[in-house]
Structure 1
Amino acid sequence: MHLLVFEYSSIYYDNTLLSEGFNMLKSILNDLAEDDNINVDYLLNSKLSIGINKFNCITVDNNLISWLKCNSYMYDYCIFIAPEDDYIQYNISKILEENDVKIIGSTSHASYICTSKIRTYENLKDIKKIPTYKIDLNSNDDLNYEKIGEFISKYHTCIIKPDNMTSSDYIYKIHSIDELIIKLEIYEKNNIKTILLQEYIDGKSCSVSIINTHTYFNVICINSQEIIDENNKILYHGCKTPIDHPLKNEIIKISKNITSQISGLYGFFGIDYIIKDNMVYLVEINSRFTTPFIVLSDIASENLTCSIIDGVLNDNLNQINLENNSGTFTKN
């Protein structure tokens, strides 16, 4: 079994995502180091070092796509983590699929749907979603400030954020058209064209970590999310996992329904929610490894990465026991 492993920010040295991404990469490689039957190559920026001599490290600085087009055909399987931004995850998935590399994770189809939060909403039925107004800066038709003003007046406090970005950068709380116009100028300067205006749900943020195969579905755990409001800028600061939740059964039921409606969600992935007054609102689906994996790989009784590989390749899902442990990850 020849396996390729990489994480996008650890190749492009992206400081916005590097804290989480690099640590997820290390967790995956540490798990794989326990299995002598897997031949692993991993990709990394020359400025970084993992320190696992058992595997072959290939330096790829800022030319991942061209490298994959030329070399990915040599591998049987691939585990990778990449952001949804600008279809990055989707495009990588397509290259791997076209080169007959089996992805230990979601297909390009699932990635395409989850690349856009509004597209995700449009593909789901009977799921509680946050009231949303789409603003397309490429189209003057959508800049109807009368309708936008009505939306803000209806909900009083709103969240404005990019439709297709992974990082919590550029997420703001607003209360008026004037504040919205200021944020739209920021998006324009940063070439962000599709923006979502949503009702601000003053609830608790959480996520679920899932392993899914063709036959088996398992919510490994529910995770808390530490969300910080810094002068009306909303930032993700970290997570605690696992947590007990009074709506656990309802959250699992909703998560299974979501997963069943989007074909191709495989391997390890996460779904984010906001919960208020016992109502569970879908925020987004992350069709890839997510931050709680860093903690889970340490506290799980089984080798989590190898369990995921076994699940995807052999349609077999081992019971993941967290042994009453918990842990936290803080973005640094």
Structure 2
Amino acid sequence: MNILIFEYITGGGLVGETLPASLVGEGELMLNTVSEDLSELDDVQVSVMRDYRLQSNKQAKYEYIVDAKNGFADVIECVAKTIDALLIIAPESEGILSTLCEEYSNREFIMLNSTSRCVALVSDKLKTYKYLKCFNIPQIPTYEMSDVKLINSDKIIIKPKDGVGCERIHLLEISNNSSDVVNQFDTHNYIAQPYIQGQSASLSLLCWDGKCKLLSVNIQNIEEIEDGLELKGCVVNALEHDRFVEFSNSLIKTLPDLRGYVGVDILISKDKVLLVEVNPRLTTSYAGLSSALDVNPAGLILKTFIDQKLPEFFVLQETSITVNIGAERAA
């Protein structure tokens, strides 16, 4: 089985633009891990796409160079008839991931991603909040910028509707004149939330047809930096699963078109588990799964798509693994 991995940052998505070192580092981490996991499977050959400015990737059997003359879309079309599956790792911001999922669905190869429609929904934090509110999913209250005055909190978080991770997040003291806050941001593209004390964490899920397997519960190391937040890394498989199974099942039941690996950011505040956001793609936590669970997560993902149902398996090992990444600045 021939599988092509398109990691957007390292695979030519930014040809013609500057390659930010922090994004390259995180992209390489996920690319190398999933490439290695897939390469360990029987009868699987892995190929990757590569920005011409980066050194060769040693994990893949084949490598396709992307440059100004041959863009990533040209390369994918060129090799489309030679691959059996395509895995896209890309940011949700600016509709990048949803557009790619729409473009490469319904092809002769299997796309190892969620549907474009579902990706588009969860990529918009305000739409996701309103949708999931109908199903009583516990979430951090989310407001349009014009409604900042309704937030009953001394601190608020301002973030892009389609932001990724800690990207462009601002942590601000609320003043008596809330218009001062609103005027700093594009009211159409940003949202506001109350700042709630708690433990930042994430869930690594395997999903299909409204059902899920909880692979791990991960602690996130997020620090306050000036007026923003910075993700330093995570501890994979750090917390017991039992408390989070019902939450996971209830959430994924409302989003039946989430497929394969899904990361869910949560906040554990006192006795509550609150949804922060849904990431319909590989996340940083994936990098520690194989070691933490003593199972090949890429094999589970691939089997799910081939069988079109969740596999039966047992977690054989309960080990926590620390994953450190480069700084992801909220600017």
TM-score category by the smaller chain? 0.7 to 0.9
Instruction: Determine which of 73, 77, 86 is the counterpart of 2:85.
Output: 77
Amino acid at match of 1:159: I
Does 2:193 match 1:198? yes
Task: State the partner residue of 1:116.
Answer: 124
Rounded Cα–Cα distance in structure 2 between residues aligned with 1:184 and 1:9: 32
Rounded Cα–Cα distance in structure 2 between residues aligned with 1:17 and 1:212: 26
Gaps of 5+ in 2: 327-331
Rounded Cα–Cα distance in structure 2 between residues aligned with 1:120 and 1:74: 37
Does 2:259 match 1:261? no
Amino acid at match of 1:168: C
Q: Per-residue deviation at 1:322?
A: 5.3
Rounded Cα–Cα distance in structure 2 between residues aligned with 1:65 and 1:244: 40
Give the conservation status (yes or no) of the 8 Å contact 2:126–2:143: no
Does 2:59 match 1:59? no
CA separation of 1:86 and 1:72: change in aligned 2, threshold 3 A: farther
Task: State the partner residue of 1:241.
Answer: 236
Gaps of 5+ in 1: 136-142
CA separation of 1:242 and 1:289: change in aligned 2, threshold 3 A: same
CA separation of 1:193 and 1:75: change in aligned 2, threshold 3 A: farther
Give me the CA root mean square deviation. Answer: 2.4
Task: State the partner residue of 2:213.
Answer: 218
Task: State the partner residue of 1:10.
Answer: 10
Task: State the partner residue of 2:141.
Answer: 131
Instruction: Determine which of 158, 161, 164 is the counterpart of 1:163.
Output: 161
Task: State the partner residue of 1:173.
Answer: 171
Task: State the partner residue of 2:45.
Answer: 39
CA separation of 1:320 and 1:108: change in aligned 2, threshold 3 A: farther
Amino acid at match of 2:271: N
Q: Which one has a larger percent helix, Structure 1 or Structure 2?
A: 1
Rounded Cα–Cα distance in structure 1 between residues aligned with 2:288 and 2:317: 13
Amino acid at match of 1:7: E
Q: Per-residue deviation at 1:64?
A: 2.3
Give the conservation status (yes or no) of the 8 Å contact 2:118–2:257: yes
Rounded Cα–Cα distance in structure 2 between residues aligned with 1:48 and 1:122: 44
Q: Per-residue deviation at 1:89?
A: 0.5
Partner SS state of residue 168, structure 2: coil
Give the conservation status (yes or no) of the 8 Å contact 1:206–1:274: yes
Instruction: Determine which of 296, 312, 326 is the counterpart of 2:320.
Output: 326
Question: What per-residue deviation string (whole Å, max 9, x for no partner) do you get for residues 78-110 of structure 1?
Answer: 112110011110011011114343222211122
| Paired residue total | 313
- Greater Cα offset, 217-226 or 118-127: 118-127
Amino acid at match of 1:266: R
Give the conservation status (yes or no) of the 8 Å contact 2:141–2:193: yes
Task: State the partner residue of 2:27.
Answer: 21
CA separation of 1:114 and 1:14: change in aligned 2, threshold 3 A: farther
Does 2:289 match 1:296? yes
Task: State the partner residue of 1:49.
Answer: 56
CA separation of 1:293 and 1:220: change in aligned 2, threshold 3 A: same
Does 2:115 match 1:104? no
Q: TM-score, normalised by structure 2?
A: 0.86
Instruction: Determine which of 238, 245, 250 is the counterpart of 1:252.
Output: 245
Instruction: Determine which of 278, 284, 287 is the counterpart of 2:280.
Output: 287
Amino acid at match of 1:171: I
* Identity %, equivalent residues: 24
Task: State the partner residue of 2:329.
Answer: none
Question: What per-residue deviation string (whole Å, max 9, x for no partner) do you get for residues 25-46 of structure 1?
Answer: 1011111222341233211112
Give the conservation status (yes or no) of the 8 Å contact 2:206–2:310: no
- Greater Cα offset, 272-281 or 211-220: 211-220
Give the conservation status (yes or no) of the 8 Å contact 1:223–1:240: yes
Q: Per-residue deviation at 1:151?
A: 2.5
Give the conservation status (yes or no) of the 8 Å contact 2:236–2:292: no
Give the conservation status (yes or no) of the 8 Å contact 1:171–1:234: yes
Question: What per-residue deviation string (whole Å, max 9, x for no partner) do you get for residues 45-83 of structure 1?
Answer: 12133213x611011147324443555354331112110
CA separation of 1:305 and 1:111: change in aligned 2, threshold 3 A: same
Amino acid at match of 1:9: I
Rounded Cα–Cα distance in structure 1 between residues aligned with 2:125 and 2:217: 21
Rounded Cα–Cα distance in structure 1 between residues aligned with 2:8 and 2:66: 10
Give the conservation status (yes or no) of the 8 Å contact 1:172–1:232: yes
Give the conservation status (yes or no) of the 8 Å contact 1:295–1:327: yes
Amino acid at match of 1:130: I
CA separation of 1:18 and 1:180: change in aligned 2, threshold 3 A: farther
Question: What per-residue deviation string (whole Å, max 9, x for no partner) do you get for residues 257-313 of structure 1?
Answer: 111111211111111111112011110000111111101123332222112101221
